[in-house]
């Protein structure tokens, strides 16, 4: 038994050393640490697997094909919620433990930068990236569609209405600016 532990320890140490060599060759020290991203990938894998387990345990029926309207509404909802969570000024308290305020970035949005150590800066980087947040949201809405399709359509429909309303607000502001000078 002790011999198995020694083998595992040796294998882990070799894997760790190989990872350090790859990280060092990938970017200068501290510039783009792969360890934080590896942790984020592991967390996302666990999150996705958890959805898979819940869907499997509940024996949710998988659709034969996607409904085009569901895809469009969900995509619009993911876009809008992703922007709100990653850039919204009103949601900045959620990101504040992991980010530093840099300035305004447009209507009701802020520019922030990640701060802190490895874990904190990785979370800050993910939390301020609408593309990164969208991956997690898409996974969430996909699982939710399988488990609670009517409730999920209600939520994604509401968020999509917000996205359309925001688009109309921005379009109106552009028209006012164009016509006033």
- Rounded to whole angstroms, the Cα distance separating 68 from 85 reads 25
Stronger pLDDT, 1 or 87, i.e. the higher one: 87
Distances (CA, A) of 141 to 48, 76, 153: 11, 12, 9
Q: CB-based contacts of 109: which residues, under 8 Å, 6+ apart?
A: 83, 87, 88, 89
pLDDT at 2 over 60: no
User: Which pLDDT value is given to residue 7?
Assistant: 63
What single string gives the DSSP state of each residue in 54-105? HHHHTTPPPPSS--HHHHHHHHHHHHHHHHHHHHBSTTHHHHTTTEEEEEEE
Q: CB-based contacts of 151: which residues, under 8 Å, 6+ apart?
A: 144
pLDDT tens column, 78-122: 999 999 999 999 999 999 999 999 999 988 999 999 998 889 999
Q: CB-based contacts of 119: which residues, under 8 Å, 6+ apart?
A: 36, 39
Which single residue is written with the structure tokens 């996909």?
142
pLDDT at 162 over 80: yes
pLDDT tens column, 60-80: 989 999 999 999 999 999 999
Phi, psi of 2 (to 5 degrees): -60, -35
- Answer positive or negative: Cα dihedral of 134, 140, 146, 148: negative
Q: Give the three-state DSSP class for 33.
A: coil
Please give the mean pLDDT across all residues of the chain.
91
pLDDT tens column, 147-156: 999 999 999 9
Of all residues in the chain, what percent carry a pLDDT higher than 90? 72
User: Which pLDDT value is given to residue 136?
Assistant: 98
Task: Note the pTM of the prediction, 2 decimals.
Answer: 0.83
């Amino acid at each position: 038994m002790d011999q198995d532990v020694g083998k595992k320890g040796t294998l882990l140490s070799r894997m760790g050393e190989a990872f350090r060599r790859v990280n060092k060759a990938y970017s200068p020290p501290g510039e783009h640490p792969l360890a934080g991203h590896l942790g984020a990938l592991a967390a996302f894998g666990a999150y996705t697997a958890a959805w898979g387990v819940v869907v499997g345990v509940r024996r949710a029926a998988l659709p034969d094909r996607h409904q085009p309207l569901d895809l469009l509404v969900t995509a619009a909802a993911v876009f809008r919620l992703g922007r709100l969570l990653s850039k919204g000024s009103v949601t900045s308290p959620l990101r504040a433990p992991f980010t530093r305020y840099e300035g305004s970035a447009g209507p009701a949005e802020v520019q922030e930068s990640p701060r802190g150590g490895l874990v904190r800066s990785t979370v800050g980087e993910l939390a301020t990236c609408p593309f990164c947040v969208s991956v997690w949201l898409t996974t969430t809405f996909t699982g939710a569609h399988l488990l609670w399709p009517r409730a999920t359509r209600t939520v994604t429909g509401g968020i999509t209405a917000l996205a359309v309303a925001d688009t109309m607000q921005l379009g109106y502001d552009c028209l006012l600016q164009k016509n006033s000078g």
